[in-house]
Amino acid sequence: MSIEKNIADWKKGNFKPLYWLEGEESYFIDELMHYAEHKILTPAEAEFNLSVFYGKDTEWSTVINACRRYPMFANKQVVLLKEAQQMRDIEKLEPYIVNPLISTIFIISYKEKKLDARTKFAKTIKANGEILTTKKLYDNQLPEWTNNLIKTAGLTITQKALLLLVEHIGNDLTRIKNEIEKLTINLNNRKNITEDDIENYIGVSKEYNVFELHDAVAKKNISKAIRIIQYFKANPKAAPIQQIIPALYNFFSKVYMITGAGTSDEKAIASLIGLTNTYFLKDYMVALNNYKYGGIEKILLLLHHYNLRSIGVNDAGTNDADLLKELVMKIAVV
The model's pLDDT over 150-159, given as tens digits with 9 standing for 90+, comes to 999 999 999 8
φ and ψ of 111, to 5 deg:
-80, 150
Report the C-alpha gap between 332 and 71 in whole angstroms.
Answer: 69
**What mean pLDDT, rounded, does the chain reach?**
93
Taking a C-beta distance cutoff of 8 angstroms, is the pair 66, 51 a contact? yes
Range 157-184 average pLDDT: 92
User: Once rounded to an integer, what is the mean pLDDT over residues 281-310?
Assistant: 95
Q: Is the pLDDT of residue 2 over 80?
A: no
d(CA 100, CA 103): 9
**pLDDT over threshold 90, residue 317:** no
pTM across the whole model: 0.80
Q: Which domains does the chain have, with CATH numbers?
A: 3-134 (3.40.50.300), 139-202 (1.10.8.60), 210-226+233-332 (1.20.272.10)
Q: What is the pLDDT of residue 293?
A: 94
Greatest alpha-carbon pair distance for the chain in Å reads: 75
Beta bridge partners of 53: 81
Taking the chain, what is the end-to-end CA distance rounded to the nearest angstrom? 48
Beta-carbon count within 10 A of 53 CB: 20
Give the per-residue pLDDT at 146: 95
What's residue 191's pLDDT?
Answer: 95
Average pLDDT over residues 245-263: 93
pLDDT at residue 209, rounded to an integer: 92
**pLDDT at 269 exceeding the cut of 80:** yes
Q: For 71-114, write each residue's pLDDT tens digit.
A: 999 999 999 999 999 999 999 999 999 999 999 999 999 999 89
Contacts of range 223-232, beta carbons closer than 8 Å, 24 or more positions apart: 225/328, 226/325, 226/328, 229/321, 229/324, 229/325, 229/328, 230/321, 231/205, 232/208, 232/320, 232/321, 232/324
pLDDT at 60 over 70: yes
pLDDT tens digit string along 110-124?
A: 999 899 999 999 999
Q: How confident is the model at residue 1 (pLDDT cuts 50, 70, 90)?
A: low
pLDDT of res. 64: 98
